Amino acid sequence: MRRLLVVTLMFAASAGARAGSVSPASIGGHSIGESAAVFLSAEPEAQRKADACRQSAGEPSCAQLLAALDGRERAEVSTGDSMAFLLEAGKLVRITMPADRAADAEVADLTKQIGHRPRQIAIAGQNVQGAKWHNSLFVWDTADATLTLYQDNDPSLQDRRPLLVIEARP
């Protein structure tokens, strides 16, 4: 089942906040900076994996996941609906997911929500047969997060949806 891509950016209301600062960035029902407990409550698949790991903590993959959930390490958690999450120090610090709409529509919506245009980077691509194309990377920097939208235009790809990443700034 595809998740409807909804990116909600709540902008700081204080007079001292610069335009376009994101606090917090949210996507797919998650917010950058949310606790591991909040993350698990919204992701039943990840909760089941964490529960299984707590019962057999000796598994190498479980040790890293449990350490990330407990705030000691970082670990990536993927779900069956193509979303990937990075947990670090017990907090959600990155969300990655495919966008269901064309890159142009996503760029327009994100630009409107964030309040400024992204940096756009063209990346040349070429396959072994010599076919060439240009991929596009759009980057929005805010006070709290970096948002990127990557459009891979490789003609051999079956899934050509843009990839959206929201990551907390260090």
Q: Give residue 3's pLDDT.
A: 37
d(CA 62, CA 141): 34
d(CA 81, CA 129): 33
Q: Give residue 57's pLDDT.
A: 64
Confidence band of 67 (pLDDT split at 50, 70, 90): confident
**Percent residues over pLDDT 90 in the chain:** 54
Q: Considering the chain, what is the average pLDDT of its residues?
A: 83
Which of helix, strand or coil describes residue 21? coil
Of 63-72, 140-149, 160-169, the one with minimum mean pLDDT is: 63-72
Nearest to 113 by CA among 27, 4, 11, 3: 11
Read off the pTM. 0.79
d(CA 154, CA 122): 13
Confidence band of 152 (pLDDT split at 50, 70, 90): very high
pLDDT in tens, 19-62: 333 344 667 788 899 999 999 999 999 999 899 998 876 777 78
Task: Extract the tokens encoding 127.
Answer: 């396959």
